[in-house]
């Protein structure tokens, strides 16, 4: 003896075939109806993938700055109405750097930075690049590794040695694919011995290529290359991310004291907190992701309304068919189920094709852009779930209408 549930399941199964047959009879209309859902789902899947990819790429760039990084920039300088930007003012001295290292307990690594752009000549070629003076701790602060050779030492800093660590891009331009360690490079007519090759790090936050640079001891940079007596910035690594804000406050008060700034005066320096940047960036990308998702969800709703519209037309058009089915003994629930299954099948098929198109679309975006979109399983499951829900929601009313038809009226319908 069959239970009520079994009977219901068998009848649902049969109804599924009735519904599929009805959809097959109207292939063109069915596919046009599903198109709304296809576009909606494809848009959601692709946009969320693009959002995820962009977020991941930006997060990676922020992380590439180094761990628990604080950067103190000298203030900006205006002369004749032309503002030269951050680091241009002569406010940060080596003494400031030493004071920070000595007095701020949470600072674990310090690197004074002085930079300029210069023409590098080697191997019969020349290349315009950025020459940056740093401390040996710089690589630790930036979480940067060498693929060959070694970093200069504190001793080489003290002696203002003419040694350099070279970025992978600069090395490639000057020396080609060979190992540049041990080679010589001339900057502003000063010969430097290359002692290390930096690992490739890719584009930085501002889009500049971090691999196109030559790093030399800051003492060498100031004395021999730039002639600067002040620093552009100081890179600092803080013990832990929880101590970042405290350290930032301590450094601010230390520098204000050292620069003799009174209470009303503005800081003549700026402190950048990597965590702040990361937080800001991730909140921005979160908003962008939400926006992308919301906009593409709208097209899903429009697609759902399309399904409802076609289902209503279909119910009207098939009034006679419904009348015949009811006359030969179809239960109202069977009619309702048939139209509901038709709507859900349309939306699920649309969802399936949409997911495929969305993945393809995300790959295409990956080809033309600098980052790789990330299609997550959650977004696919969500897209399917939403298309199912849309089918049920927008199919319910037409199905209800079909099942409530009066068979006598329906059979008379022309």
Whole-angstrom distance, CA of residue 284 vs CA of residue 288: 6
Binding residues with another protein: total (CB under 8 A): 24
Q: Which is nearer to another protein, 201 or 318 (CB)?
A: 318
Identify which range of 27-35, 124-132, 319-327, 374-382 contacts another protein by CB under 8 A.
Answer: 319-327
Choose which of 230, 239, 321, 389 interacts with another protein (CB under 8 A): 321
Interacting residues with another protein between 165 and 194 (CB under 8 A): none
Identify which range of 6-14, 176-184, 259-267, 358-366 contacts another protein by CB under 8 A.
Answer: 6-14
Site of tokens 């907190």? 273
Site of tokens 């552009």? 232
| Residue 348 C-beta: closest distance to another protein, Å | 23
**Eight-state DSSP code of residue 88:** -
CB-CB contact of 270 with 86 (8 Å) = yes
| Residue 362 C-beta: closest distance to another protein, Å | 39
Tell me the CA end-to-end span of the chain in Å, nearest whole number.
Answer: 43
Identify which range of 281-289, 316-324, 352-360, 369-377 contacts another protein by CB under 8 A.
Answer: 316-324
| Residue 345 C-beta: closest distance to another protein, Å | 18
| Residue 332 C-beta: closest distance to another protein, Å | 6
Q: Which is nearer to another protein, 283 or 316 (CB)?
A: 316
Binding mask 75-94 for another protein (x = CB under 8 A): --------------------
Q: Which is nearer to another protein, 47 or 330 (CB)?
A: 330
Q: Which is nearer to another protein, 103 or 406 (CB)?
A: 406
Choose which of 32, 178, 295, 408 interacts with another protein (CB under 8 A): 408
Binding mask 324-353 for another protein (x = CB under 8 A): xxxxxxxxxxx-------------------
Q: What radius of gyration do the chain's Cα atoms show?
A: 34
Phi-psi region of 145 (alpha: psi -120 to 50; beta: other; left: phi over 0): beta
Q: Which is nearer to another protein, 235 or 314 (CB)?
A: 314
Q: Which is nearer to another protein, 4 or 189 (CB)?
A: 4
Q: Which is nearer to another protein, 25 or 260 (CB)?
A: 25
Q: Which is nearer to another protein, 47 or 399 (CB)?
A: 399
| Residue 6 C-beta: closest distance to another protein, Å | 9
Interacting residues with another protein between 8 and 27 (CB under 8 A): 10-11, 14, 18, 25
Site of tokens 């897209």? 383
Identify which range of 52-60, 205-213, 249-257, 317-325 contacts another protein by CB under 8 A.
Answer: 317-325
Binding mask 268-307 for another protein (x = CB under 8 A): ----------------------------------------
Q: Which is nearer to another protein, 20 or 408 (CB)?
A: 408
CB-CB contact of 209 with 64 (8 Å) = no
Kindly state the tokens that stand for 65: 């700055």
Determine the length of the chain.
414
Phi-psi region of 66 (alpha: psi -120 to 50; beta: other; left: phi over 0): left
Report phi then psi at 16, rounded to 5. Answer: -55, -45
Q: Which is nearer to another protein, 124 or 329 (CB)?
A: 329
| Residue 21 C-beta: closest distance to another protein, Å | 8
Whole-angstrom distance, CA of residue 336 vs CA of residue 313: 15
Number of continuous H segments (helices) and E segments (strands) in the chain: 13, 12
Interacting residues with another protein between 367 and 406 (CB under 8 A): none
Whole-angstrom distance, CA of residue 216 vs CA of residue 213: 10
Kindly state the tokens that stand for 143: 């979480």
Strand 190-198 vs strand 184-187: parallel, antiparallel, or unpaired? antiparallel
User: How many other C-beta atoms are found inside a 10 Å radius of the C-beta of residue 412?
Assistant: 11
| Residue 14 C-beta: closest distance to another protein, Å | 6
**Eight-state DSSP code of residue 330:** -
- Degrees, nearest 5: CA angle 130-131-133: 135
| Measured torsion, CA atoms of residues 237, 243, 245, 250, in degrees rounded to the nearest 10 | -80
Sign of CA dihedral 371, 210, 138, 269: negative
Using CB under 8 A, list all residues that contact another protein. 2, 7, 10-11, 14, 18, 25, 320-321, 323-334, 407-408, 411
């Amino acid at each position: 003896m069959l239970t009520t549930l079994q009977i219901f399941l068998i009848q649902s199964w049969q109804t599924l075939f009735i519904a599929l047959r009805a959809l097959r009879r109207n292939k063109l209309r069915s596919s046009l109806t599903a198109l709304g859902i296809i576009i909606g789902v494809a848009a959601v899947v692709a946009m969320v993938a693009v959002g995820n990819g962009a977020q991941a790429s930006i997060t990676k760039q922020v992380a590439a700055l180094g761990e628990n990084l604080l950067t103190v920039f000298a203030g900006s300088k205006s002369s004749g109405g032309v503002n030269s930007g951050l680091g241009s003012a002569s406010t940060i001295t080596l003494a400031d750097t030493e004071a920070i290292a000595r007095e701020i307990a949470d600072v674990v690594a310090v690197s004074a930075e002085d930079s300029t752009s210069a023409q590098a000549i080697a191997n019969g070629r020349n290349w315009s690049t950025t020459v940056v003076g740093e401390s040996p701790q710089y690589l630790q602060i930036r979480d940067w590794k060498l693929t060959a050779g070694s970093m200069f030492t504190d001793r080489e800093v003290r002696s203002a040695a003419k040694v350099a660590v070279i970025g992978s891009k600069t090395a490639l331009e000057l020396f080609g694919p060979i190992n540049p360690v041990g080679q010589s490079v001339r900057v502003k007519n000063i010969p430097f011995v290359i002692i290390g090759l930096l690992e490739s790090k890719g584009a930085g936050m501002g889009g500049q290529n971090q691999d196109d640079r030559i790093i030399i001891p800051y003492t060498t940079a100031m004395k021999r290359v730039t002639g600067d007596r002040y620093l552009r910035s100081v890179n600092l690594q803080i013990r832990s991310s929880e101590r970042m804000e405290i350290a930032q406050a301590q450094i601010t008060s230390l520098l204000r004291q050292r620069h003799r700034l009174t209470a009303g005066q503005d800081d003549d320096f700026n402190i950048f907190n990597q965590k702040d940047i990361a937080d800001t960036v991730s909140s921005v990308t979160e908003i962008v992701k939400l926006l992308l998702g919301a906009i593409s969800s709208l097209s899903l709703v429009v697609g759902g309304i399309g399904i409802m519209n076609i289902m209503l037309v279909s119910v009207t058009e098939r009034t006679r068919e419904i009348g015949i089915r009811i006359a030969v003994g179809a239960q109202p629930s069977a009619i309702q189920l048939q139209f509901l299954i038709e709507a859900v099948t349309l939306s699920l098929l649309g969802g399936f094709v949409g997911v495929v198109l969305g993945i393809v679309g995300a790959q295409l975006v990956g080809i033309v852009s600098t980052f790789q979109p990330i299609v997550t399983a959650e977004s696919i499951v969500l897209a399917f779930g939403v298309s199912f829900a849309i089918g049920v929601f927008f199919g319910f009313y037409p199905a209800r209408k079909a099942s409530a038809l009066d068979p006598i009226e329906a059979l008379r319908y022309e």
